[in-house]
Structure formats: structure tokens, C-alpha cells
Amino acid sequence: MPAPLAPLFGFTLGVLLAWLARPEDGPDERPGASSWDRPTVAVALYALFVYAPVSAYFTVFAADWSFAYLVDGRAIPSALELLLVLLDAAAPVLGFLAGRRALARRSLPALAWLAALPLVAGLIPLVTLHARFGIDATYDQVQSDFGTRPLPGSPLGYAILWMDAILVAGAVFTARTLSTFDVSAVLPARPGRAAPPVLPSEPTSDEPPRFLGRPRKPR
């Protein structure tokens, strides 16, 4: 996906994962509860090993296309590319944490805005520059208007399809993993919620154990 837009889509994806990972009765904020529980770690692993590498592929190997041929990919500083990769790794986690905070406050409008604003901000340039994103070429070819070819059927087009399939498969796997977590077991008990009943332990006896088939001798 385009390099400058990947963090925006990653943030929206994190918010959607937070919505899918919500418990049935809704999470809430509790003092002393750590944000880095198992669901957050699962999202962080997806962002680190799937989302960031896929986004970095286009930043490194298709920089001209990633910036819609507006700048020469060879002139982009490596520090900027590294910053974009770090943002790609952090965006899904930040979106997931922000989404869980909105759910904790039971604010569905805030959750919707958190998901919609980055998505719209990413779709506007994608739709506006769709003609540039729809070709496979280099910066020089676009500027000179020669040698360009449509993105579908080109090597870059196949790479986009393959990488997007990896992103979707990883997101589905992460969502299924989040659904298996017992959030109530990870988070501390809510104030006002009745504690689970404690079953009484079996009474103990000082009487020595009896052996089957051997009657106990009278004292």
C-alpha cells in the first residue's frame, strides 16, 4: 500500500481489532490494569511481523509508486523511510489501545470516529490520485509520459495482490486469536461485581486411612 497512507489504515485496522476483541459485557478502565495484556501482545505481533514488513516492502522496492510518482523515490531520505516503517509497526497497536479505551468508556461514537477519521484521511488521496496509483512505472517515466503500463497484470500489481492477501490473512488470524482469549481472566475484577463463589473444602479427619479388605483392629 502507499507508504504515507499505511499508518492511517493500520490505525483503523487496530480499532477494528479492538471492536472484535471486546468482551460480551464490555471492558472498562481499572486502576493498575496493564495495557500490555495478551490481546495487545497479539496485535503487536501482527503489526511487527506482518503489517510493518508488508508496508516496508513497497516503501523500499516501490518507492516511486508509494508516493504516487510525486517525488523521486531515490531522493527520499532513508531516515524518512525508517520513520514510516516504525509508524507502520506502531499504528495498529495504537489504534487497538485507543479502541479499547473508547470501549472502556462505552463510547461507541468515539470508537466510530477513531476508525473513520484515519480511514477517510487515507482514502481521500488514494481516490484523488487513483490514476497515478493505477500504473506501474518509474518517476522518470511518469514525468516524461512514456513506458508506463497499467497496474493490473504488471509485476507490481501481482505484488500488491500477494501482499494484500497476506495482510488480510494475518488480520483474520489475529481476530480469531483475540476471540479465543478470556478477557475476564486477564483483567482484574470490576468494582461492584460479585466475586465468584468459593466452594468449601472437604473436611479433613485425623482418623487414619482404612485399607479395603482389612478391618481396623479395635484399640
Sign of the Cα pseudo-torsion (114, 120, 123, 129, in order): negative
CA distance 46 to 174: 7
Global pTM reads: 0.78
Give residue 21's pLDDT.
Answer: 82
The CA–CA distances, whole Å, from 172 to 46, 140, 168, 179, 218 equal: 10, 39, 6, 11, 70
- Coil/strand/helix, residue 153: coil
Closest to 54 (Cα-Cα) out of 17, 91, 21, 80: 91
Give residue 134's pLDDT.
Answer: 95
Sign of the Cα pseudo-torsion (25, 29, 32, 35, in order): positive
Q: Which three cell numbers stand for residue 122?
A: 487515507
Give residue 137's pLDDT.
Answer: 94
CA distance 134 to 136: 7
Give residue 68's pLDDT.
Answer: 94
Give residue 150's pLDDT.
Answer: 95
What parts of the chain have a pLDDT lower than 50? 25, 28-29, 31-32, 184-191
Give residue 31's pLDDT.
Answer: 44
| Residue 92 contacts residue 42 (beta carbons within 8 Å) | no
Give residue 186's pLDDT.
Answer: 44
Q: How far is CA 124 from the centre of its chain?
A: 22
Q: Which three cell numbers stand for residue 16?
A: 477494528
Give residue 189's pLDDT.
Answer: 44
